[in-house]
């Protein structure tokens, strides 16, 4: 019988309990083979995860997503020490994540337990998974604080998703250490406090470079992200998604201007918090932005004209704040004609809202005129600096002549010698020209 090193029975209607899985070494499954896989996602398997699965220590890829598995995780899953990918998303699993299931899984790089009924606090054993690049625990019932060691120990984390749980406390500043982070989704929790300013230093959201591109991606990875106002499911294309979603929490304070440095970010969602202050003027620096949602906060002041510089913006929601002034126009903003994206801001005016502005000058034009005025002002100051420098040097030289008598005498003698030489040269030139005309 040939060696089976790859078993893919996904996307079928297989049902019943997982009690008849082949053990390690049976049906030709080689114990020594380094790339064994078991793909059983999108079937109808039910009941609990069998203990017999723990004997498959040869496995590197275990995918049982989108079935109907119930019960708790067996602690013996920690025996699968070669596992690189573990996906049990979209099942009906419950209970806590056993620490023993993680403590010996040092090779694990992707853990996706999204959309189950898991609860409790995050086990400290997660911090031993130093190679972890993807951690998706979203849509469960986890609680407690997000621990500081997430950012201190999981330094290669690129996807960190705790969407729709019951986490409390503040966003740990240690997350700023995750320089590879490209998807940060902490939406729909009970987080409090300000947004850490240092999140603007996340290098993965500035450069867009990713290690995920080099990973094996043929195991279907379903990653849900709220982008453009809708929940979108990404499979192998999730490696191109760069998104920060902190929406629907209890965050306070101003929007950190440092976030505007995340130039590779495609989506930024800070909606439904208690943020105040203005929208940073430098928001136009986020050149790659596709989706921007600041709705449901307490933001004040005008909409910065630089927002018109976001050429790829296809979804915008600034509704239900306290923004005021004329809505900027120009560039991509001309395509965003739905008035609902601005409603709930009593003092906003201009298209696409029905309320007209008293001042007919377009705010974007004012912005351009202001830049031109600043440029002209800079030129004036440049010439003033040159003139003042020349004047200072000239009068300084004159002052030296007034107080240094021998310098004054030397200058006058030097001037007389120069004038004599010029006089002699002119006389000789004129005499030569006269002789030339006479001989002619």
Mean pLDDT of 336-349: 95
Residue 284 has pLDDT above 50, yes or no: yes
pLDDT in tens, 123-143: 999 999 999 999 999 999 999
Higher-pLDDT residue of 37, 387: 37
Residue 4 has pLDDT above 60, yes or no: no
Residue 221 has pLDDT above 90, yes or no: no
Write the Ramachandran bin of 165: left for phi over 0, alpha for psi from -120 to 50, otherwise beta. Answer: beta
Partners of 232 in the beta sheet? 225
Instruction: Locate the domains of the chain by residue range.
Output: 383-439
pLDDT in tens, 290-314: 999 999 999 999 999 999 999 999 9
Most confident of 69-83, 294-308, 319-333: 294-308
- 383 pLDDT band, cuts 50/70/90, is low
Number of CB atoms found within 10 A of residue 7's CB: 16
What is the share, in percent, of the chain residues with pLDDT greater than 90?
Answer: 55
**Per residue, what are the HEC states of 197-228?**
HHHHHCCHHHHCCCCHHHCCCCCCCCEEEEEC
Angstrom distance (rounded) from CA 78 to CA 72: 14
Is omega for the bond preceding 352 within 30 degrees of 0, making it cis? Answer: yes
Give the distance, in angstroms, between the CA of residue 376 and the centroid of all CA atoms in the same chain.
35
Query: What is residue 393's predicted lDDT score, i.e. its pLDDT?
Result: 56
pLDDT in tens, 103-119: 888 899 999 999 999 99
């Amino acid at each position: 019988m040939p060696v089976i090193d790859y078993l893919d029975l996904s996307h079928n209607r297989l049902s019943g309990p997982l009690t008849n899985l082949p053990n390690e070494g049976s049906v030709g499954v080689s114990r020594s083979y380094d790339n064994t896989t078991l793909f059983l996602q999108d079937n109808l398997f039910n009941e609990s995860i069998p203990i017999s699965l723990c004997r498959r220590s040869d496995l590197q890829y275990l995918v049982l997503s989108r079935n109907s598995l119930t019960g708790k995780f067996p602690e013996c899953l920690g025996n699968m020490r070669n596992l690189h990918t573990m996906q049990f998303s979209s099942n009906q699993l419950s209970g806590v994540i056993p620490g023993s299931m993680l403590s010996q899984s040092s090779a694990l790089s992707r853990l996706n337990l999204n959309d189950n009924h898991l609860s409790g606090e995050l086990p400290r054993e997660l911090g031993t998974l130093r190679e972890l690049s993807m951690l998706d625990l979203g849509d469960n019932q986890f609680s407690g604080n997000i621990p500081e060691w997430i950012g201190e120990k999981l330094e290669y984390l690129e996807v960190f998703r705790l969407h729709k749980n019951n986490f409390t406390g503040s966003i740990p500043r240690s997350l700023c250490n995750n320089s590879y982070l490209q998807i940060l989704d902490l939406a729909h929790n009970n987080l409090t406090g300000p947004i850490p300013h240092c999140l603007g230093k996340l290098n993965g959201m500035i450069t867009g470079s990713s290690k995920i591109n080099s990973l094996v991606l043929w195991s279907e990875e379903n990653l849900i992200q709220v982008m453009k106002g809708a929940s979108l499911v990404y499979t192998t294309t999730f490696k191109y998604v760069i998104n920060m979603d902190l929406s629907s929490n209890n965050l306070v304070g101003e929007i950190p201007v440092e976030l505007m440095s995340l130039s590779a970010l495609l989506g930024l969602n800070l909606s439904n918090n208690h943020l105040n202050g203005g929208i940073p003027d430098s928001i136009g620096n986020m050149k790659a932005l596709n989706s921007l949602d600041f709705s449901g906060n307490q933001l004040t002041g005008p909409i910065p004209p630089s927002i018109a510089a976001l050429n790829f913006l296809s979804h915008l929601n600034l509704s239900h704040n306290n923004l005021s002034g004329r809505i900027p126009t120009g560039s991509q903003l001309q395509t965003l004609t739905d008035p609902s994206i601005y409603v709930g801001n009593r003092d906003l005016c201009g298209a696409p809202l029905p309320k007209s502005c008293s001042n007919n000058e377009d705010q974007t034009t004012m912005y351009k005129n202001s830049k031109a005025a600043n440029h002209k002002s800079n030129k004036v100051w440049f010439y003033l600096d040159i003139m003042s420098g020349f004047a200072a040097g000239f009068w300084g030289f004159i002052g030296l002549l007034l107080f240094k008598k021998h310098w004054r005498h030397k200058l006058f003698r030097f001037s007389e010698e120069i004038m004599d030489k010029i006089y002699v040269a002119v006389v000789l030139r004129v005499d030569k020209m006269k002789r030339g005309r006479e001989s002619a």
